[in-house]
């Protein structure tokens, strides 16, 4: 220990450092315990007011276009592609 450094200065460094380490250990333990608690929880139960959701999307609709409709659609796509 250097001669020009007083005991109070060493306490000024040691005490806050010890508090920081203690807080870090406590927070790490709290976080670890919280993770274990979340894992132990049961999955949420379904609400009766919410109807069950479909797993697949709506059925596709297909409409056969006439030759004039196909030509009009092709012209529209050319116009949109140019601009």
Residues 6+ apart with CB under 8 A from 65: 73
Q: What is the pTM of this model?
A: 0.40
d(CA 22, CA 76): 71
pLDDT tens digit at each of 83 positions of the chain: 567 778 888 889 999 999 999 999 998 888 887 776 666 666 666 667 777 777 777 788 888 999 999 999 999 999 998 86
d(CA 2, CA 9): 11
Any idea where the domains of the chain sit in the sequence?
Answer: 1-41
Taking CA 56 as the corner, what is the angle to CA 63 and CA 53, rounded to the nearest 5 degrees?
Answer: 125
């Amino acid at each position: 220990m250097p001669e020009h450094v007083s005991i109070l200065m060493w306490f000024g460094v040691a005490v806050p450092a010890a508090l920081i380490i203690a807080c870090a250990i406590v927070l790490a333990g709290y976080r670890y315990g919280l993770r274990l608690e979340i894992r132990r929880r049961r999955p949420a139960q379904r609400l009766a007011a919410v109807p069950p959701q479909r797993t697949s999307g709506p059925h596709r609709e297909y409409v056969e276009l006439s030759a004039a409709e196909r030509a009009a659609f092709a012209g529209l796509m050319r116009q949109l592609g140019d601009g």
